[in-house]
Amino acid sequence: MVKDTISQLVGEALHIDPGTIVQDTDLFAAGLRSLDLVNLVVALEAAFGFQFPEEALNRETFASPASITDMVIRCRTI
Amino acid sequence: MPNNLSDGERVRLWHGRTFWEEQPHLPLVPELLTLRALATSSRPYITFAGGTEERVLTFGEIDDLSRRLAWWLAREGIASRGATVAFAPRNDLLSVLTIFALLRAGAITLLLNPQDPEGRHDELRAGARAVATLAIIGDATRHRDALVLPDPRSLPATAPPLPLPAADDGAFLIGTSGSTAASKLVLQTHANAAANAAAVVTHHALSAESRLLGCLPIHHVNGLHFTLFAPLAGGAQAILLEQFDPFGYRAALSHYAPHVASVVPSMLEMMLTADRRGALPETLRYFVSAAAPLQASTAKDVLERFRRPICQGYGLTETTNFSCTIPTGLDPAIYRRRMIDVEIPSIGIAMAGNEVEILDSDGRESPPGEIGELCMRGHNVMAGYFGNAEATAKAFRHGWFHTQDLGYAIQDADCGRLFVITGRTKNMAKVAGEAVSFEEVERVLRALPGVADAAVFAETDRFYGQRLIALLVAPDDVSDTTIRNHLKLRVSPAAQPARMVRVDSLPRTPTGKLRRPQLAEFAARLNS
């Protein structure tokens, strides 16, 4: 569930088919720009109903769908 | 002012005086390099950051290495006085050296956006009659015809200096998205660059103690003139980030402790989302925001969260870089009155070296408060549109440069004469600070086989400022992916539509003109 939503939102941010996204896709290599990244932060927070803590807002968190999933699960359980 | 001057001559006068009359001793950029090296050779001029490693160039090194490279360019017959050379710079050391070397060699640099597709580069190279295209070592995306430059450190240190260019010589050709489908090429002179840099130094009181943080791309006038030339003219220190990183920006402000930071409004909005901490380092006095309209809500949020004011500036490629800027060090109450408690924040006062006026359609000056066209004349006004006398004459009518932006003046007791932009008369959007012409994108869309008709309009977007929406009359077998791939090869990333909507037909007048004001409403009706 969480993974599907993340793939969907990442696909929208990158203007690509969510079906082509795998868990370890390098999002920065795939062309994720600063603007897309910030849009993605806002979209993820709206979709999951939480706010990323300050320490989660870095490039490592958004490096791949897998790293985003890890952080979303961690944030939701806090 | 003498009456027998042409519009093209009058448009470059400041209070009736030419650049030479007003500034007979103002050094041009190539001369500034030598003067700074003589005065403060070992002081850092520019720090390159945000890439794999930090690199610093002193005033002595930039002078020495750009002289060696200029000598090589001249010796190889690539750059000569008045010849146009195309170059797509990135925010790195070799690109900056190349720009200075081309200026020293007297060549005109056609500045290309490295993000633009090759088709767009070809169009601009042909229009500018570029004799060569340059690339730095290791540029993986270089143009297929590009000549790769040598490492300047491998060239002889004894390279003799080249003759200095004249003030009226061309320095840059820059493509601009105008109101028409075809892009126009703005010709900026050495005098334009020197006049703009001097005005910025005066306005921001840049000195050897000043540090300026830039992250805007240097193929863009704001990155080029504000981040590179103004610190050189003021003997100040520049820090150039490879790109803007919303997560790393605060760390850069802490580490480099700049006094002034150059941004566009969408970067401030990105920081407000990505950086949830409070006040920014105290060394930062203010942001300078330009290239797209700043919203009062952004100014309010930046003041309340980051505790910093924003100096909004305004200018077009045609006016080099800055025509207006908000005065620095405003009293907080005055700042609020002009930037926050208003519908539209002001773009500030006229910079030294140019006059700004609001003109009516007959070229008469409008009284304060009355909306008209924002026009300017002075030492920062371009030489003209390259190879396009008709467009130049139209832009310079009545001896003023016509921006096609609408606005009004305010006589403010504390600040002087302030200007406010209310809208545009041209069919353009500003996407993340980049000007995008609707007609240009529509022309490219209609050129795709299967697309019967296309129209583009802009929607407001918090981060991008504006984003394009494309309306298409095209059968389903022309897929969105086909259309996106077609666009990616031909227009810049900023011009890629956020959404594409299929329609049966477009609202047009009986004579076939698009009913632009109705496009947004037309699309909204389709959705409902």
Enumerate residues 6+ apart whose C-beta is below 8 A from A41: A52, A57, A62, B273, B274
Q: Which of A33, A42, A59 sits opposite B273 (nearest CB)?
A: A42
pLDDT in tens, B348-379: 999 999 999 999 988 999 999 999 999 999 99
Number of separate domains in chain A: 1
Task: Establish if B251 touches chain A: CB-CB under 8 angstroms.
Answer: no
Whether the pLDDT of residue B174 is over 70: the answer is yes
Residues of B in contact with A38 (CB under 8 A): 246, 269-270, 273-274, 463
pLDDT attached to residue B50: 83
What's the domain range around A47?
A: 2-77
Would you state the pLDDT for residue B509?
A: 82
Which tokens go with B235? 């003997």
Identify the structural domains of chain B with CATH numbers, from first to last: 25-354 (3.40.50.12780), 429-527 (3.30.300.30)
β partners of residue B14:
B17
pLDDT tens figures, B300-327: 999 999 999 999 999 999 999 999 999 9
Tell me which chain B residues have a C-beta less than 8 angstroms from the C-beta of A54.
276-277
Size of interface A-B (CB pairs under 8 A): 37
- Asked if residue B180 has pLDDT above 70, the reply is no
Structure confidence at residue B139 (pLDDT): 83
Torsion angle defined by CA atoms of residues B195, B135, B444 and B521, in that order, rounded to the nearest 10 degrees: -50
| Average pLDDT along chain B | 93
Identify the bridge partners of residue B436 per DSSP, sorted by sequence position: B429
Per residue in B186-237, pLDDT (tens digit) is 999 999 999 999 999 999 999 999 999 999 999 999 999 999 999 999 999 9
- Is the Cβ of A39 closer than 8 Å to some Cβ of chain B? yes
Chain B residues near residue A57 by CB distance under 8 angstroms: 247, 274-276
State ipTM. Answer: 0.85
pTM (two decimals): 0.90
B432 touches chain A (CB under 8 A): yes
Pick from A33, A38, A59: which is nearest to B273 by CB? A38
Look up the CATH number of the domain holding residue A62: 1.10.1200.10
Distance from the A18 Cα atom to the nearest Cα atom in chain B, whole angstroms: 13
The residue of chain B nearest to residue A14, with distances taken between CA atoms, is: B498
HSE-CB of A26 using CA atoms within 13 angstroms: 2
The closest of B447, B446, B441 to B496, measured between CA atoms, is B441
Q: Which residues of A touch B276 (CB under 8 A)?
A: 51, 54, 57
pLDDT surpassing 70 at residue B527: no
Chain A residues in contact with B270 by the CB 8 A cut-off are 34-35, 38
